[in-house]
Homo-oligomer: A and B are copies of this chain.
């Protein structure tokens, strides 16, 4: 079976695939970070969604008042959901794109711009920056994903 393993290793040795793996892991980790930011704001703002999460604050009404929404928590959650809506298509379409044989330099350009745009988007959402900061960073990431999808469909189309 070492022959098969060698073949798998070749995939991860391919430079385009390595670049994809690197940037895909970075944006997925960035998305995961939103969970920690949400927890941080839930604890510091004392704003929870589940009764069992407030049990340590006492019983009855003294704990119940922490079952509430907080504008900072909701902001992070919107940013997290926006990541899911945009990073999932990047991961999926990016994988197909990386397997469709693009030039290394073109692929790197796509991956780097998307990753930069999504990191900017997170800062624009959490600081928050005035519009159109968040809208533009969102649109750049969106356009990169469309561009990769175009390449995938023009290369692989089989309906």
Chain A residues near B (Cβ < 8 Å): 1, 4-5, 7-19, 21-22, 24-26, 28-29, 31-32, 34-35, 49-50, 52-53, 55-56, 75, 78, 80-81, 84-86, 88-89, 91-93, 95-96, 98-101, 128-131, 134, 142, 145-146, 149, 152-153, 155-159
Contact = CB atoms under 8 A, between A and B. Distances in A.
A88 B85 contact: no
A61 B130 CA distance: 18
Contacts of A5: 14, 16, 101
Contacts of A32: 85-86, 89, 142, 145-146
A interface: dominant SS: helix
A61 B18 CA distance: 51
Contact of A25 (B9, B25, B34, B149): B149
A158 B9 CA distance: 15
A128 B51 CA distance: 10
Contacts of A21: 96, 99-100, 152, 156, 158
B12 A99 contact: yes
B159 A22 contact: yes
B134 A52 contact: yes
Residue from A14, A21, A34, A95 having most chain B Cβ neighbours under 10 A: A21
Contacts of A153: 22, 25-26
30 contacts: A4-B14, A7-B7, A7-B11, A8-B16, A8-B17, A8-B98, A8-B99, A9-B101, A12-B101, A15-B158, A21-B100, A22-B157, A24-B96, A25-B92, A25-B96, A25-B152, A28-B88, A28-B93, A28-B149, A29-B93, A32-B146, A35-B85, A35-B86, A50-B78, A52-B130, A52-B131, A53-B131, A81-B81, A88-B91, A95-B95
